[in-house]
Amino acid sequence: MKNLKKRLQNGETLHGCWLNLGSSLTAEIVGLSGFDWVLIDLEHGAGTEKDVLAQLQALESTPAGVIVRVESAESQRIHRVLDMGAEGIMCPKVSNPAEARKVVSGLHYPPHGHRGVAKMVRATQFAQNFDSYYQNARENLLGVVQIETAEVLNHLDEVAALDGVDVLFIGPADLSMELGIFGQFDHPRFKEAVRETINAAQKAKKAVGILFFNPEEYHNYHQLGIRFIACGADATFVANGARDMARKLGDFRHKILDTGS
């Protein structure tokens, strides 16, 4: 465990990014690059649960803690990635307290939830470390619910207050789409939703997270109180690097053609 939950509770700002290529190699490269955490994306990413295992193994020796975004709050989806060794889960489009409770229930063992007990899994070092894992699971496993629907804005205080919900994570694209202002992150309604989310989290002493792709937005969101910050993805890093190199080589070719040498 990389102590993500404890570090957030201590008020640290943690930096992360998305892994959506389903590749253990890009996962390892990104994990070694200096991020505090990475998110393996099963909702929109190219990989499957089978690919999660390889990525978790690749990330084990890196400094980055690993969160997995599951497709839904179904217990089986949550159990499987936790048993593989994920340090926490993110669930998309949580719209009300009942859905948030379902996430928490899948995250924790009884009596705090309904996570199934399996000893012979990677998370417990195949039963060698089950007792310690079991005793410390509530303190170590991070529960992240995404604030992406118009409905959840009416239940922010209730969702934030739930024990086991550790981070309210704003999904700008989906939230702005739901509000009818897609991509308009400077729109008063979007800004209001961000403030409402932060206020609810702060009252409950929980963290707030957000994903953005322009690092110039960092100061604004950090100043508002957001401490679980994601910027970029492995696919973005590869695409940007490839385009940048192709452009540079193209520039050299044009210069040679123009000068004839």
Helix 234-259 and helix 24-31, axial crossing angle in degrees, nearest 10: 90
Residue of 47, 45, 100, 89 lying closest to 65 (CA atoms): 89
Residue of 215, 207, 53 lying closest to 143 (CA atoms): 207
In single-letter form, the type of residue at position 76 comes to Q
Q: Alpha carbon of 69 to those of 172, 181, 203: distances in Å?
A: 16, 25, 25
**What are the percentages of helix, strand and coil residues in the chain, rounded to 5?**
50, 15, 35
b/e map of 51-76 (b: 16 or more CB within 10 Å)?
A: bbbbbbebbeebebbbbbbbebbebe
Joined together, the tokens standing for residue 7 give 């570090």
Q: Where are the beta strands (DSSP E) in the chain?
A: 14-19, 37-41, 65-69, 88-91, 142-147, 167-170, 207-212, 228-233
Q: For residue 235, give every residue at least 6 positions away whose Cβ sits within 8 Å of its Cβ, in sequence order, or none.
A: 18, 20, 21
Residues annotated as catalytic are: 44
Q: What is d(CA 111, CA 90) in angstroms, rounded to the nearest whole number?
A: 21
